[in-house]
């Protein structure tokens, strides 16, 4: 039996050892690996999907929900998206070495603030194997080593994906340990790695609230996280109802099991009697269970009665809560009280109202007249994301290349000395 402590120490030490090398690799070599890996994913599609089928066959033994099984599944389209994401990341500007600020001091010194890697990332995530390649690609392009710990439900798929990525690292003469996967499903390994702040610079948990709470409580290094994706769609009184229906249905129903899916609908009381029956019909036709406040239920008797806990809930299924609010100020107050500071949407035709909403809602992303599903690294031009942070330090919102970097000051002189 493998010693858990020794195993954790070994992989963390390997990652730390190569981190210094990764910080010096030029952009062309990074992009060569990304493009080669993108092609290899497609070339090995049968092998990847066969491994994924094995994970899906085992899904029942893990008591996965329908949304979890959806996240676990790799289809040919999703595999093509995974490959395309690597190509897009290759096309992004390299954040390492970029000058964030700079200038000359009166004494002649040139002071530059320059982007640098964080070092070693420990990424813990659940049954979403497509995230494996995104995380590895973002980490490598930003000059970081990464330790991947996916859910045991996806272990077969993740092993194959990492094997393909590591094969390309070897072929191109790049450090194999730039991308490692934790091969032992034992939770004790995670606990050991969370103690290694001298080797790991940042841990990123991406999954359920229990996982993130555990990581936040145990980690000895900084944590980048969000607990919930309790996202809102607020339909203001001036909204185009046809537009609102499209945005609402897409936000809730396109992929209900993801963190940027809408979980709550707020409707201005001035239009509630007209709008709510329309919204209910559109949602119920998609199989959505709608839970409403007393006023909502009075307007649409078919609604189930919502509890206060429903307004805090991230359902991740075809369920949505509904609340009639008096105005935009009330909507903002409701979102800031019950929401999770993830993604919140307003549908309105008034510029002043949209500006009020943008300023008032304390979320990592505020969207005007578009679906909540657009709060996604790929959709926002980041190529991909390693997660969405609802923290305010050091990164917020979708975390791509730039959010996986820090900076250092570079001071260039010509013999200057300090006299005072």
Q: What average pLDDT does range 180-193 have in this prediction? A: 93
Task: Report if residue 151 sits inside a domain.
Answer: yes
Question: How far from chain centre, in Å, is Cα 340?
Answer: 14
Q: What average pLDDT does range 281-291 have in this prediction? A: 98
pLDDT band for 257, please (50, 70, 90 cuts): confident
Query: Do 22 and 107 share a structural domain?
Result: yes
Cβ atoms 373, 342 nearer than 8 A = no
pLDDT band for 383, please (50, 70, 90 cuts): confident
Q: Global pTM?
A: 0.85
Tokens representing residue 271 in the block: 């239009």
Query: Do 237 and 203 share a structural domain?
Result: no
Strand order in the sheet with 405-412: 99-104, 110-117, 405-412
Task: Report if residue 168 sits inside a domain.
Answer: yes
Tell me the chain's radius of gyration from C-alpha atoms.
24
Task: Report if residue 189 sits inside a domain.
Answer: yes
In this model, does residue 302 exceed pLDDT 80?
Answer: yes
Q: What average pLDDT does range 293-300 have in this prediction? A: 98
Task: Report if residue 339 sits inside a domain.
Answer: yes
Model pLDDT, residue 367: 97
Q: What is the dihedral of CA 202, 205, 39, 402, to 10 degrees?
A: -50
Model pLDDT, residue 65: 83
Query: Do 84 and 209 share a structural domain?
Result: yes
Task: CATH number of the domain at 68, please.
Answer: 3.40.605.10
Query: Do 248 and 190 share a structural domain?
Result: no
Query: Do 201 and 104 share a structural domain?
Result: yes
pLDDT band for 392, please (50, 70, 90 cuts): confident
Residues for the chain: how many in total?
A: 420
pLDDT band for 182, please (50, 70, 90 cuts): very high
- The tens digit of pLDDT for each residue in 323-333 reads 999 999 999 99
CA-to-CA dists, residue 387 to 55, 125, 223, angstroms: 23, 10, 12
In this model, does residue 199 exceed pLDDT 60?
Answer: yes
Task: Report if residue 386 sits inside a domain.
Answer: no
Q: Count how many domains the chain has.
A: 2
Query: Do 197 and 87 share a structural domain?
Result: yes
Model pLDDT, residue 2: 65
Query: Do 211 and 103 share a structural domain?
Result: yes
In terms of phi and psi (left: phi > 0; alpha: psi -120 to 50; beta: otherwise), the region of 397 is left
In this model, does residue 1 exceed pLDDT 70?
Answer: no
Task: CATH number of the domain at 319, please.
Answer: 3.40.309.10
Of the ranges 82-96, 170-184, 392-406, which one carries the lowest mean pLDDT score? 392-406
Query: Do 213 and 83 share a structural domain?
Result: yes
Task: Report if residue 51 sits inside a domain.
Answer: yes
Mean pLDDT score of the chain, rounded to an integer? 95
pLDDT band for 414, please (50, 70, 90 cuts): very high
Quote the domain boundaries for residue 107: 4-224+395-411
- Quote the CA–CA distance of 290 and 272 in Å, as a whole number: 15
Q: What average pLDDT does range 98-126 have in this prediction? A: 96
In this model, does residue 210 exceed pLDDT 90?
Answer: no
In this model, does residue 304 exceed pLDDT 70?
Answer: yes
- Quote the CA–CA distance of 291 and 302 in Å, as a whole number: 9
In this model, does residue 87 exceed pLDDT 60?
Answer: yes
Query: Do 268 and 209 share a structural domain?
Result: no
Query: Do 264 and 219 share a structural domain?
Result: no
Query: Do 246 and 97 share a structural domain?
Result: no
Query: Do 201 and 55 share a structural domain?
Result: yes
Place of tokens 């050991």: 192
Task: Report if residue 382 sits inside a domain.
Answer: no
- Quote the CA–CA distance of 163 and 317 in Å, as a whole number: 33
Task: Report if residue 388 sits inside a domain.
Answer: no
């Amino acid at each position: 039996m493998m010693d858990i402590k020794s195993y954790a120490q070994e992989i963390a030490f390997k990652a730390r050892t190569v981190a210094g090398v990764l910080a010096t690799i030029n952009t062309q070599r990074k992009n060569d690996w990304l493009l080669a890996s993108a092609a290899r994913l497609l070339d090995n599609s049968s092998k990847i999907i066969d491994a994924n089928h094995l994970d899906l066959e085992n899904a029942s033994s893990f008591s996965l929900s329908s949304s979890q099984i959806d996240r676990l599944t790799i289809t040919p389209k999703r595999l093509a998206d995974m490959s395309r994401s690597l190509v897009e990341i290759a096309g992004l500007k390299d954040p390492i070495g970029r000058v964030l600020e700079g200038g000359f001091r009166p004494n002649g010194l040139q002071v530059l603030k320059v982007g640098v890697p964080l070092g070693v990332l420990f990424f813990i995530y659940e049954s979403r194997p497509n995230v494996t390649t995104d995380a590895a690609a973002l980490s490598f392009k930003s000059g970081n080593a990464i330790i991947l710990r996916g859910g045991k439900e996806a272990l077969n798929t993740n092993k194959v994906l990492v094997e393909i990525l590591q094969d390309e690292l070897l072929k191109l003469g790049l450090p194999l340990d730039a991308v490692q996967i934790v091969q032992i499903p034992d939770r004790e390994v995670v606990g050991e790695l969370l103690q290694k702040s001298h080797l790991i610079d940042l841990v990123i948990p991406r999954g359920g609230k229990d996982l993130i709470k555990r990581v936040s409580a145990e980690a000895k290094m900084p944590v980048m996280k969000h607990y919930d994706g309790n996202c809102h769609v607020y339909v203001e009184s001036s909204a185009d109802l046809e537009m609102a229906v499209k945005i609402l249905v897409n936000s809730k129903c396109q992929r209900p099991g993801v963190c940027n899916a809408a979980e709550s609908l707020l409707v201005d009381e001035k239009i509630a009697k007209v709008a709510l029956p329309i919204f209910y019909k559109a949602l119920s036709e998609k199989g959505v269970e709608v839970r409403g406040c007393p006023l909502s239920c009075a307007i649409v008797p078919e609604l189930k009665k919502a509890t206060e806990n429903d307004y805090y809930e991230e359902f991740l299924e075809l369920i949505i809560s509904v609340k009639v609010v008096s105005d935009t100020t009330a909507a903002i107050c409701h979102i800031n009280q019950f929401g999770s500071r993830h993604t919140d949407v307003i549908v309105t035709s008034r510029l002043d109202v949209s500006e009020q909403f943008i300023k008032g809602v304390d979320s990592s992303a505020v969207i005007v007249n578009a679906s909540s599903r657009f709060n996604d690294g790929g959709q926002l031009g980041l190529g991909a994301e390693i997660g969405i942070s609802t923290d305010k330090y050091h990164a917020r919102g979708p975390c791509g290349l730039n959010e996986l970097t820090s900076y250092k000051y570079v001071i260039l002189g010509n013999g200057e000395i300090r006299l005072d």
